[in-house]
Amino acid sequence: MVNDTISDMLTRIRNANLAYKTSVSLSKTKVHEKICQILEQEGFIEKFYVSEAQTNQLIIDLKYQKTTSVGSGALGKPCITNLKRISKPGLRIYTNSREIPKVLGGMGILILSTSKGLMTDRQARKSRLGGEILCSVW
């Protein structure tokens, strides 16, 4: 039994990226769906959908950059370079809208849990909302 499902999700995506898998499956929750929706909007994953065989499974199709360089695999370089869990069950990290950090000078994103739901750091700054910093993606 996994206690932190968000960490499990990020680890599954990271491991599938490193193994150059085309898709990864994980348990379907509202939080997982919202994180996948954000990753799809930001261009980090190709698409996500609910499995037809098992309705409690979420399938994520990973996205790779088409490159011709040697050693980057048949699919190319992964679009997700790094996924990092920031706020953990043992140590929650909260921030207000003025102190939301930028990831790689704005190249990456933070996913925050706010009073208006999950959103990226840019959306939170624009709507002047703070919250719990769940993870960073670049």
pLDDT tens digit sequence for 39-79:
999 999 999 999 999 999 999 999 999 876 655 567 789 99
Q: Which fold has domain 85-137?
A: Dna Ligase; domain 1 (3.30.1490)
Answer yes or no: is pLDDT of 32 > 60.
yes
Q: Where are the domains of the chain?
A: 1-78, 85-137
Amino acid identity for residue 104 in this structure:
L
Cβ(118)–Cβ(137) below 8 Å: no
Measure the CA dihedral 52/64/26/91, to 10°.
-150
**Sign, CA torsion 95/30/122/101:** positive
Token pair belonging to 114: 């706010």
Q: What is the CATH number of domain 1-78?
A: 3.30.1370.30
| pTM value > 0.85 | yes
Other Cβ atoms less than 10 A from the Cβ of 129: the count is 17
